[in-house]
Chains A and B, each alone.
Chain A
């Protein structure tokens, strides 16, 4: 069965610090998809990135970057020069190719960025 583990429950940083959120996953499928979602204090879930299992290239989008390593089953998320507006709960999620795109979420990491 698929599983996503986010071992960091809560991280506190000061503005402008870099922070990395860890995500480790388990799946039996060779084709799968990984996602990160952001849940700000207002409660909605905001899509950040999707990555398929055949694409191990790291991705950068502004201050956000993602490091996908199949060898360690990890899909880590780094925020560079964090800002107070980055404060949110971040969820890593997985869907297997055999399903109807149902997402299995990790427990989330709460990031608190203080000024």
Chain B
């Protein structure tokens, strides 16, 4: 069964460092998303990506964040200068069309120390 794959599963980084979280969405999907979940809290939307550009972003998605689809399969989230409060589980998701169910990856746990 096709699935969304995220790497790495866990990343520890020092404050101020740049990190890139990687995702391989389901191959025929057109809509891609990043969400985050701070430990014990709800899942929050960061950004959606369609047709090679950002279609929506939340207020959390400020200038330190960027997304890219560098080739036909990968979808990345870059955090330029990490802060302690960026520590969270980051989920990538994809869907094949608008307003249908999004399928989530297993998440990348980011720990900023």
Contacts and interface: CB of A to CB of B under 8 A. Distances in A.
Interface of A: 33, 35, 37, 42-47, 50, 52, 91, 93, 95, 97, 99-108
Interface residues of B, number: 28
A107 B56 contact: no
Interface in B94-111: 95, 98-107, 109
Contacts of A108: 42-43
Contacts of A97: 99
B83 to A, nearest CB: 22
Interface stretch (B16-24, B44-52, B73-81): B44-52
Interface string B33-76: 10100000111110010100001101000000000000000000
A33 B43 contact: no
A54 to B, nearest CB: 12
Interface of B: 31, 33, 35, 41-45, 48, 50, 55-56, 58, 89, 91, 93, 95, 98-107, 109
Contact of B89 (A43, A52, A93, A100): A43
A4 to B, nearest CB: 9
A5 to B, nearest CB: 11
Given A37-B104, A45-B107, A108-B43, 19 more contacts: A33-B100, A43-B89, A43-B106, A44-B105, A45-B91, A45-B93, A47-B102, A47-B103, A50-B100, A91-B42, A100-B31, A100-B48, A101-B33, A101-B95, A103-B45, A104-B45, A105-B43, A107-B41, A107-B42
Contacts of A100: 31, 48, 50, 55-56, 98
